[in-house]
Structure 1
């Protein structure tokens, strides 16, 4: 049984935010940039203000200078700033700074100093990185810090120990930091102990780094010598322009001009692409828009820069399409395990599951720790698990998911996709399940609220106890403030009272002695003195307390603030108590059911079919049991019947959803491309400001809006959300989806015959010799072709037989928000198999394999030539740059090919999935995949008009996607390249188009017009060489009966491709043509006239009716019924 290697990281982007975009600025900005702050020669006013603030805050000399004027105030007798409470209003936290103030002028100056310190700190904080750089710079030039760094500088000697030197610098800088912070704290009222501690720590770290760096510089000669001797030996290093660890996007993105980003080819030809968003933005007047367009959407355009060897960007779309390799491996792996299961089932009990049932069991096992009673199901689940884990890890790395995210709804994670049709049919049951869970969550939290209530009560007790303590301390502080400026007097009072108290024992003894005798005047004096002593004892405690407070004002102020905070926490704890009491109130059943209804409406009404994570109603998050995240964390087991479990369907949708999120975030930093949209706007702002007339400005504003619309539309198409219906379950939407599937099954049975002209595409792209030589090897060496095929499938090439991805795109069946009723699931299965029945999938796989072998061999051979020192022709340089590969990358590709590649007798294969340089692997695989998708026309997100994403557009324009893709990727791009191979390839393609006309006519039983002019006309039409321009011509010929159009010019009948359609079908598409056929049948039955037209209409309704190998038989049956 084959086991497919699961390595999802091979198709995921390597780095986060690899394309750096300029930060947008609008109008005049007063912000200081980091580069300006770091530039010592900058004379900008804002930079000077920032440095002045940093000098006063972070430099001991600057801080001292800022305090110097405060020694010049005249003392005012009896002045005390604390006598009037209004004096220090707003400065209570800095009250100790006013203790030694001796005049109102000095008090005012202290206030101004505090205000300036606060303003300076706020300015530095608001400046961000520029403020940090300014602070560091002023701190470094502080004389104390300079001296601290100079002391250990003498320890740096050649050959010295790096760790020892770093330690000396760290200790010295730490001591210097302590001294510096002491000086700063003495001159700044707003400087806190925590800030000083952090700064000392930073000084120590900076000293250690500088010391180690200095010692390494001193030892550099020895280090280099050792590296050469021990590692490199006598070998000579090869210089590379790009480091091995850089990302694809970060690799020397050249600062190109608007002219270099311009399209090659005649402008009138390029303007025919204005019907498609990728073509419009490629011709934008904004260079930024052109570059972002290339980075987002895949194209086959040739740019002026390609002739200079400057590579085109690798598009996010191309990388996303590479994820199809994961889906293919999952599908094939599940099939292989199912085959093993079928064999083993016969040996067990004889009963066995269908493939669909087996796939559902695999999905169920993935929710339960990848365990299952059937061993093959468990193994299949474990084989799929790496896809989920690798994509999850990548999303965590990019910040899409939070670090440490875990699954809470099942034993192990399996993507949650709802059965929308099941929910609609059994809404009452689903609502009951959701409501029961909501009520359980609420009740569980009610029990926990009792503990919260007890903690709140304890906090209230502590707050109430702190209030009197804070009040007492406040009185003591105010008493101490009365002695501000009179400390010596206070100390004299203390000394006087202490001496008086010291006489207490003597006085008491004398009184006791005299009490036994007759009272005398002396006894009365002693008793009065004892009273004074007792009063002195009380005063002494109060005086001593005041002295302590005056000696340590900050300590007692902090103690008072802590007690005040505790006392003020009474309200906070009281609110917590009330909140706990509210949580103890259970939700009513009516509230729960209303919330469940709201959740269900959000699920079934998701516009794009991608259900949002925030499902819990806003009002419910304020009640017990529900967090602000609003995630529906109900266990999967409880709603299992309403969740999709088919692993094939779920994983395909999961990969389709996460792949664009991953690659958009990796390339642009965010999924919404906010920075890039702002960059385009900024670029247009510059262009508009430079425009000379109001008319020019108006045009630029309109073009800016159009470019932004197109960029957003292509982004949303990639995400699968553009044109999403508001109600995907509506009759119109679902009927249209079904009609498109039916049209595919009944009308495209001959699409393989129609695709024969595609055989010329590899020749058009690469030339006759380059294309035919690998083809001969493919046809004669099956073993070599198997090796090449496996290699290409690792890149996402040649997967059509399993996925039918190209057939779905051409038939407009890629619906990201499709529901899964039994009928729709059956039509999807039929459409998948239909591509195999018509042999279209097999044909496409063959064509893509052929193209892939040609492209891979061409790139690898060029890489070998560059590595050998051979010069490439200008044609090769342009072609490779067009694919996204420059000379530097070719050198790196050659290195990887030499390690892992293989020459299969002239057919080169790189085995790129084994390459250890991830950047090179991604660039190479993307280049091959891009060329394959553009050679074997596979329309992309930017090739079709935006209206084709609407529901009406999908119906009216069905089967037109291919012609728009051909126009951009074959016709216009071929003219742009200007290669001779395009023109003789085009002649071959037109000839094959004529062959298709002959074969189609034979299959339909129509007479063949062999006139040369007619064959050329039909060849042009069937080959697709006219692109979308051929569609208006065919419509005109159909409606005019051949009186107008190419037929009138060449002579002969109207184009045969539209002959089977009625006028309505030609104008409004196959669905309306289907309606016309149904009308014909209905009228014929009602009138009792069932002639040729009605019989033909009946046949056109039948699925598979024009399969090329069934069509001749059905022709005979049709003739007999007429």
Structure 2
């Protein structure tokens, strides 16, 4: 996948300049966002470091605490830190801090304190927005500032002056700022007067703004009343039936937590029925003793449970899982767009007489175009790429908004962004070629950096020369400063010495003239000789004065401007001391100039390939460059494989349908988990659950209760993590996805689907009763009539529902895949696997299951949408809803306050199609309402037309063995949770008469299936009821053990023995092993029968039947009668 790259000036860590593709991020390897320090649940190491640094720098208490360890030292008599120049080397700028130092230990402590302050300031500065908010937060909680906030608190009064309140608060904050900065300056050597002045000014400005805001809030009633009277006019209040504990302006964000009780978060219904859900994670956590666990469970996994709070009008949380399923609409749009452009291409090719590409070739051409700026020689391919681009940008914008991607990211490996998914089988079969391509690129990258290393070497050499030249100058100035400091306190004497030397030098001419006159005399008197000696001594003193005077004047200059000369000395010393640093740079540059050996490149390429083909669940990590490679030139600590797509195009998937589906299914959970919980890993919520359990454990009365709570805590956390990982597609991912066992199991599941579920549409006939069970007969039949009679209006309604992710089965076949346990988007793609995936995708259409599911979901969507919009219109019109309606709406996540907002959006965008309401919610401008509404409709549709979710099945079914043994069992576990138990919880009459209808349809399925199989139909009423219960799925997962027992015992035990009829017909075609261990082992039994028949020469009815069962499509309901006749002829 192409790599997004940050602009260099926006990069925070120096070693990170690009990211490969959206990857789940865990741990502390990301720079904190600007609001992270304000989040009490964020305890990452980087955030903690920022808070600690800000506490020491910007909080008077923290700054004082930071100085305490450095203040207790014994004085050393006669100690002077300025005696030895090396003592303060590097700390000349802070020389004043050492004036009162009385021992070497104290001097060392002061240095440590200065170093830590500098480090703290650097950390905060480099953190950008996060550093600013850390400093701001620590300043706000400073006791001085806290105390100041209470001084003017009573001055903001209703109707008071905004300017007066602002001025008071500004003055108060400025005063507090002065006190705070005084305290901080007294304990920090690195704090400057300029910095303190700026901080005081900022405090005053902030106080003024806060004062204005406070007074405006106090006056808001009068202002609002004036606005209504002057502009809008008086408004008549409407009676509203809204529970008092529901906020009117409710949102659906990560912070949405109602102050409900454990009892309100309890599921309704008999406890013995609810306990049957303990086989599934969502059912277990829904009955947790922790209220937090129950709430997080609702927000994470979709369910159809009725909670006690729903009867009070408090809505259930919208689930992240439901929000993720809305992204199916993007996949559908992409698939349909590509299909439409392919039709246009075929028409153009037919008209022009050109050779036509196949659909898969066209899809791959679109993928190539998306890597190349959405450009292609074939217009339809380029148009298809451009049509898909907004989908990619939409997901990218959401990830940037949530902080998953950094703002300003750019593509570095292609002309435009196209997700990178590797062809695993191609890499395995042509590993040597792929290795060569990777190694060549690594070598080229290394060589480019080697070439650039020459520039670094030149800079390092220049730095060394500058450092060598600076050393003598620094030594000379240091000596001058030391000599000048010897006159410290004796400036008068120094001035006298300077004046004395100046006067003495001024006498040179006179002394010279007189001495010259004496020297020319032939004979001197004794007096003249004595005078000449005096003058010669004086001339010598003058010479000495001329040498001494500049030094004395230099001393005087230094004493007059001590800081200026100390700064100059510090500058020269820094240059001189940089010799070691520049020498290290020179050595590093010389090392980088050594290119990597081919053996090293090949080994690194092997490591990269192993990471790609061994990625769990097929999600390739972003960090592919080996750790050891980052020490070589050209490779950063980011470790992303920035090789251009064009270089490895043959090893990348280009089929735009396959790539985009996998891409969206990968990023959608990341987006929605981050949106709801703040982080993909749900770290804050997991900690909150743990803390809640800690409280419960501390309150437990007995050791046994505490032990049970600890076990339940571990189980709840396991289930929450498992459902999160199922949503991400990583739970149960095999360590070696390319192993024979994993791939053989995947192939076997596809084969089982193709050979055994040809009649699944007939088996799904009982689903026709589900809308009636969920909504009642009257509510269900009216939309059904519209669907059958008004096609034009139905097109409008269907398009609206598809925007929510409803009715997309014909294109995506997603429900069929989930029911058949084929929902594995990261499978390896050999030719056989591709063929099986294509066949499985189309098989749902061949069986008419996808068309049937679309119809059922459209019907359910119309019912739910109309009910919600009618309720919204009623509430907006001042009508009261019944308790049953309030409970039903709260059950799907809509409370009455939300209904008002829905009504507002519907009035602007919705449409009444002759009594069938459609909201056109994709046009709504209130995103919170749009997402709440769409999630509510989608949740109800997925539970009405039962679509298994992440929490419905036992965790063992996510393992490779579980997928094989429990194949085709997913639907029964989902039915148990979403239909049987939830229906009993609701207690509606519609559930019970709908259940009777469903059992009746189950009996019809038995009759049809028996006719298709050529079996005798047992019309005994007891048998029809038994078969109806079984085929309808009304027994949930409880019917599966019964069927296995009947198959193994031949009907001696089980429900059939109780009813007095034959064993359940649904398992009659399976042998005992298949009934117990699933259809794959049943397949093995059939192969054994065929092999034994061939070897023994006895090919009878059993062997013929086994051959029939091996054939794909053998039980398609419209082909089965013909195959029955062929089978009869062969027997």
TM-score, structure 1 normalization: 0.87
1:311–1:880 Cα contact (<8 Å) kept: yes
- Structure 2 match to 1:380: 384
Map of 2:7 onto structure 1: none
Q: Deviations over 1:402-427 (max 9, x none)?
A: 22111111111111111111111111
Residue pairs, 1:570-585, within 5 angstroms: 570-585=579-594
Per the alignment, residue 39 of structure 1 pairs with: none
Of 938-947 and 539-548, deviating more is 539-548
Aligned match of 2:919: 910
Quick one: distance in 1 between partners of 2:332 and 2:660? 10
Secondary structure in 2 matching 1:517: helix
Structure 1 residues 216 and 970: alpha-carbon distance in aligned structure 2, compared to 1, 3 A threshold:
closer
Please say if residues 501 and 534 of structure 1, whose CA atoms lie closer than 8 Å, have aligned partners that are also in contact. no
1:955 aligns with 2:956: no
Asked whether the equivalents of residues 311 and 885 of structure 1 are also in contact (C-alpha less than 8 Å), the reply is yes
Determine the structure 1 residue equivalent to 2:704: 695
> Does the C-alpha gap of structure 1 residues 464 and 122 become closer, same or farther in structure 2, counting only changes over 3 Å?
closer
Change (3 A) 1:1071 1:120: closer
Equivalent position of 1:287 in the other structure: 291
Find out whether 1:925 has 2:929 as its counterpart.
Answer: no
Contact 1:1047 1:1053 in 2 (8 A): yes
Tell me, yes or no, if structure 1 residue 975 matches structure 2 residue 984: yes
Instruction: State which of 595, 600, 603 in structure 2 corresponds to 1:594.
Output: 603
Distance in 2 separating the partners of 1:108 and 1:1109: 94
Q: C-alpha deviations, 1:1076-1119, integer Å up to 9, x for none?
A: 00110111111111111011111101111111111111111111
Counterpart of 1:1016 in structure 2 is 1025
| Residue 767 (structure 1) shift | 1.1
SS of match in other structure, 1:462: helix
Deviations 1:73-122 (A, max 9, x none): x9x9x9966458999899977543455x6x969x9999999999999999
CA distance in 2, matches of 1:498, 1:482: 19
Contact 1:53 1:120 in 2 (8 A): no
In terms of mean alpha carbon deviation, does 1035-1044 or 441-450 score higher? Answer: 441-450
Query: How has the CA–CA distance of structure 1 residues 524 and 286 changed in structure 2, closer, same or farther, with 3 Å as cutoff?
Result: farther
Q: Residue by residue, what CA displacement relative to the aligned partner does 1:33-59 show, whole Å, maximum 9, x if unpaired?
A: 99xxxxxxxxxxx99x9765679999x
Distance 1:543 1:702, change over 3 A: farther
Q: Aligned-pair distance for 1:562? A: 3.1
Q: Could you give the per-residue CA deviations for residues 364-395 of structure 1, whole angstroms, max 9, x where no partner exists?
A: 11111111111111100000000111111211
Q: What residue is the counterpart of 1:315 in the other structure?
A: 319
3-state SS in 2 of match to 1:824: helix
Q: Secondary structure at the match of 1:671?
A: coil
Distance change >3 Å, CA 187–CA 350, structure 1 → 2 = closer
Cα deviation 1:309-328 (Å, max 9, x = unaligned): 11111111000000000000
The one-character-per-residue Cα deviations of 1:1037-1089 (angstroms, maximum 9, x if unpaired) are: 00001111101111110111000000000011001101100110111111111
CA distance in 2, matches of 1:659, 1:33: 31
Shift of 1:913: 0.7
Partner residue in 2 for 1:131: 138
* Rounded Cα–Cα distance in structure 2 between residues aligned with 1:375 and 1:396: 32
SS state of the match for residue 369, structure 1? coil
How far did residue 548 of structure 1 move? 4.9
- Indicate whether 1:462 and 2:466 are aligned: yes
**Counterpart for residue 873 of structure 2:** 864
Residues 840 and 193 (structure 1), Cα distance of their counterparts in 2 relative to 1, 3 Å cut: same
How far has the Cα of 1:276 moved from its partner? 0.8
Tell me what 1:390 maps to: 394
Choose which of 263, 266, 274 in structure 2 pairs with 1:262: 266
Query: 1:762 offset after TM fit, Å?
Result: 0.7
> Residue 680 of structure 1 aligns with which residue?
689
Aligned: 1:1046 with 2:1052: no
Residues 870-906 of structure 1 deviation map (CA, whole Å, 9 limit, x = unaligned) = 1111111111111011111011001111111111122
Q: Is the 8 A contact 1:800 1:841 kept in 2?
A: yes
Q: Give the aligned partner of residue 1025 of structure 1.
A: 1034
The alpha-carbon deviation at position 397 of structure 1 amounts to: 1.6
Match of 2:496 in 1: 495
Question: Distance between the aligned counterparts of 1:552 and 1:136, measured in 2?
Answer: 40
- Residue 505 of structure 1 corresponds to 506
Q: CA deviation at 1:246?
A: 7.1
3-state SS of 2:617 partner: coil
For residues 969 and 758 of structure 2, the distance between their equivalents in structure 1, rounded to whole angstroms, comes to: 16
| Residue of structure 1 equivalent to 2:998 | 989
Cα pair 1:169 1:210 within 8 Å, conserved: yes
CA distance in 2, matches of 1:53, 1:738: 63
Residues 51 and 138 of structure 1 are in contact (CA less than 8 Å); yes or no, is this contact kept in structure 2?
Answer: no
Structure 1 position 608 matched with structure 2 position 617: yes
Shift of 1:492: 2.5
Structure 1 distance, partners of 2:847, 2:59, is 73
1:425-574 aligned at under 5 Å gives the runs: 425-484=429-488, 487=489, 489-518=490-519, 520-536=529-545, 538-550=547-559, 552-574=561-583
Q: Which residue of 1 aligns with 2:209?
A: 209
544-553 vs 909-918, which deviates more? 544-553
- Residue 739 of structure 1 corresponds to 748
The equivalent residue for 1:345 is: 349
Q: SS where residue 264 of structure 2 aligns? A: coil
Match of 2:306 among 295, 299, 302: 302
Q: CA deviation at 1:205?
A: 3.7
Q: Does the CA contact (< 8 Å) of 1:177 and 1:200 recur in 2?
A: yes
Q: Which deviates more, 527-536 or 599-608? A: 527-536
User: What is the CA–CA distance in structure 2 between the aligned matches of 1:512 and 1:1109, rounded to whole Å?
Assistant: 138
Please name the residue that 1:325 is paired with: 329
Q: 1:536 to 1:708 in 2, by over 3 A?
A: farther
Deviation of 1:530 after TM superposition, in Å, equals: 4.6
Does structure 1 residue 792 correspond to structure 2 residue 796? no
* Aligned counterparts of 1:464 and 1:128: Cα–Cα separation in 2: 41
SS of alignment partner, residue 516 of structure 1: helix
Q: Matches of residues 396-411 of structure 1 in structure 2 within 5 Å? A: 396-411=400-415
Q: Matched residues in 1 for 2:112 and 2:633: separation?
A: 45
Counterpart residue number, 1:3: none
Structure 1 residue 195 and structure 2 residue 202: aligned? no
Aligned equivalents of 1:112 and 1:438: distance in 2? 48
Secondary structure of the structure 1 residue equivalent to 2:917: strand
Q: Which residue of 1 aligns with 2:16?
A: none
Distance 2:227 2:616 in 1: 61
Aligned partner of 2:358 among 334, 337, 354: 354
Write out per-residue CA displacement over residues 680-726 of structure 1, whole angstroms, 9 at most, x where no aligned residue. 11212222222222222221221111111111111111111111111
Aligned partner of 2:856 in structure 1 is 847
Worse overlay, 191-200 or 112-121:
112-121
> Offset at 1:139?
9.8
In structure 1, how many angstroms separate the alpha carbons of the residues matched to 2:811 and 2:928? 29
Q: Is the 8 A contact 1:967 1:1028 kept in 2?
A: yes
Task: Find 1:619's aligned residue among 628, 635, 638.
Answer: 628
Give the 3 Å change call, closer, same or farther, for CA 57–955 of structure 1 in structure 2: closer
Query: Structure 2: how far apart are the matches of 1:202 and 1:634?
Result: 48
Corresponding residue SS for 1:1083: helix
Q: Which residue of 1 aligns with 2:1085?
A: 1076
Partners of 2:781 and 2:40 in 1: CA distance: 46
Could you say if the C-alpha distance between residues 218 and 982 of structure 1 is closer, same or farther in structure 2, counting changes exceeding 3 Å? Answer: closer
After TM superposition, give the deviation of residue 777 of structure 1 in Å. 1.7
Please say if residues 459 and 570 of structure 1, whose CA atoms lie closer than 8 Å, have aligned partners that are also in contact: yes
Give the superposition deviation at 1:665. 1.0
Residues 194/1032 of structure 1: CA separation in 2 closer, same or farther (3 Å cut): farther
Aligned runs of 1:1-40 on 2, under 5 Å? 23=41
Contact 1:16 1:666 in 2 (8 A): no
CA distance in 1, matches of 2:972, 2:778: 28
Q: Where do 5+ consecutive residues of structure 2 fail to align?
A: 1-32, 125-130, 520-527
